């Protein structure tokens, strides 16, 4: 990873090549845009984003209806990462960056719904057919437009968050060793922000039919806060890295774990758990 970060930072041509061909590997192209934006500014990041979306634009021209939506999500992600990284460069605030990413992702899906309606219908039909053929299909579970848009927004937001994290990690690796670890371990949100998110999740989950996927989108920042607290705890108690490996494997297969992380992130924003963990050791 360090070699790749050094390659991206070594010159515009090298960074452009990584951004252009990096679409083959998840997160690489937007993370390259993030690193350049964080280190050199918005204008350089914008130029690199054009390299990143060029192959996506070519695919978009020849894509079928369903693939059009997927390609558009990738293009939206590049620009979300570009602006989010610029905010991080100027403000150094994860809370502001994550608010922007969630809002941008929600607006992007609305844009797709208006201008790519026909492609969304095609994708919606494919997903419905997939679930109908599944042995675990539940007739009571209906995949409507609102649910599909929430999933699309979640994909944009999650990919953008991971890409900005990767870009920030690369930046620290090259210019501020250990800086990202300290910054990430202290990730914590204001009480007002967390309460607002929780209310939004509660409304989507229990009062708006078909909007459960939007609840997951809104909960991403708090889930990241819970992950940050877990990383901090592992370092504080000097636990083996195998704990983190096991945790991420469990997160992939146990969906209730993500809900627990949202709860942990919320409690940390209210009660500030880190000083209590330190006093417990003493």
User: pTM value?
Assistant: 0.92
Q: What pLDDT sits at residue 128?
A: 65
Average pLDDT score over residue span 249-262: 88
Distance CA 31, CA 160 (A): 8
- Is the confidence at residue 134, as pLDDT, over 70? no
- Is the confidence at residue 72, as pLDDT, over 60? yes
Distance CA 194, CA 266 (A): 6
Beta strand spans in 15-80 (E):
none
Q: What share of the chain is helix, strand, coil (3-state, %, to 5)?
A: 85, 0, 15
Average pLDDT score over residue span 15-42: 96
- Is the confidence at residue 67, as pLDDT, over 90? no
pLDDT tens readout for residues 42-54: 999 999 999 999 9
- Is the confidence at residue 140, as pLDDT, over 60? no
- Is the confidence at residue 143, as pLDDT, over 80? no
pLDDT tens readout for residues 164-210: 999 999 999 999 998 999 999 999 999 999 999 999 999 999 988 88
The pLDDT confidence band at residue 254, using thresholds 50, 70 and 90, is confident
Per cent of the chain over pLDDT 90 is 68
The pLDDT confidence band at residue 159, using thresholds 50, 70 and 90, is very high
How many Cα atoms are found within 13 Å in the side-chain-facing hemisphere of 116?
Answer: 24
Q: What pLDDT sits at residue 14?
A: 96
Q: What pLDDT sits at residue 45?
A: 97
For residue 244, what are the contacts with CB-CB under 8 A and spacing of at least 6?
A: 230, 231, 234
DSSP 190: -
Distance CA 31, CA 87 (A): 15
Per cent of the chain over pLDDT 70 is 92
pLDDT tens readout for residues 112-132: 888 777 777 766 776 666 556
Distance CA 86, CA 71 (A): 23
Q: What pLDDT sits at residue 130?
A: 55
Average pLDDT score over residue span 27-33: 97
Check residues 239 and 83 and name the one with the higher pLDDT. Answer: 83
CB count, 10 Å around CB of 248?
11
Q: Which CATH architecture has domain 1-176?
A: Orthogonal Bundle (1.10)
Going from N- to C-terminal start, the domains of the chain cover 1-176, 186-282
The pLDDT confidence band at residue 70, using thresholds 50, 70 and 90, is confident
For residue 79, what are the contacts with CB-CB under 8 A and spacing of at least 6?
A: 49
pLDDT tens readout for residues 218-231: 999 999 999 999 99
How many Cα atoms are found within 13 Å in the side-chain-facing hemisphere of 76?
Answer: 26
The pLDDT confidence band at residue 135, using thresholds 50, 70 and 90, is very low
């Amino acid at each position: 990873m360090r070699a790749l970060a050094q390659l991206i930072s070594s010159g515009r041509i090298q960074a452009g090549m990584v951004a252009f061909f990096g679409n083959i590997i998840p997160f690489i192209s937007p993370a390259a845009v993030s690193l350049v934006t964080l280190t050199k500014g918005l204008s350089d990041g914008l130029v690199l984003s054009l390299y990143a979306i060029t192959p996506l634009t070519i695919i978009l021209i020849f894509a079928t209806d369903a693939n059009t939506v997927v390609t558009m999500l990738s293009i939206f992600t590049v620009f979300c990462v570009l602006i989010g990284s610029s905010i991080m460069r100027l403000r150094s605030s994860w809370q502001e960056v994550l608010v922007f990413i969630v809002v941008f992702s929600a607006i992007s899906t609305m844009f797709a719904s208006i201008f790519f309606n026909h492609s969304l219908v095609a994708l919606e039909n494919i997903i419905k057919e997939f679930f109908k053929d599944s042995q675990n299909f539940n007739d009571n579970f209906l995949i409507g437009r609102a649910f599909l848009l929430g999933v699309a927004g979640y994909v944009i937001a999650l990919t953008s968050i991971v890409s900005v994290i990767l870009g920030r990690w690369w930046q620290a690796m090259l210019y501020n060793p250990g800086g990202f670890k300290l910054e990430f371990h202290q990730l914590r949100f204001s009480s007002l922000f967390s309460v607002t998110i929780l209310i939004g999740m509660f409304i989507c989950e229990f009062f708006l039919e078909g909007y459960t996927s939007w609840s997951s989108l809104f909960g991403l920042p708090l889930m990241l806060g819970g992950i940050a607290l877990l990383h901090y705890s592992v370092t504080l108690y000097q636990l083996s890295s195998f704990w983190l490996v096991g945790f991420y494997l469990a997160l992939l297969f146990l969906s209730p774990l993500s809900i627990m992380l949202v709860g942990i992130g919320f409690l940390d924003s209210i009660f500030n758990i880190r000083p209590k963990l330190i006093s417990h050791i003493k």
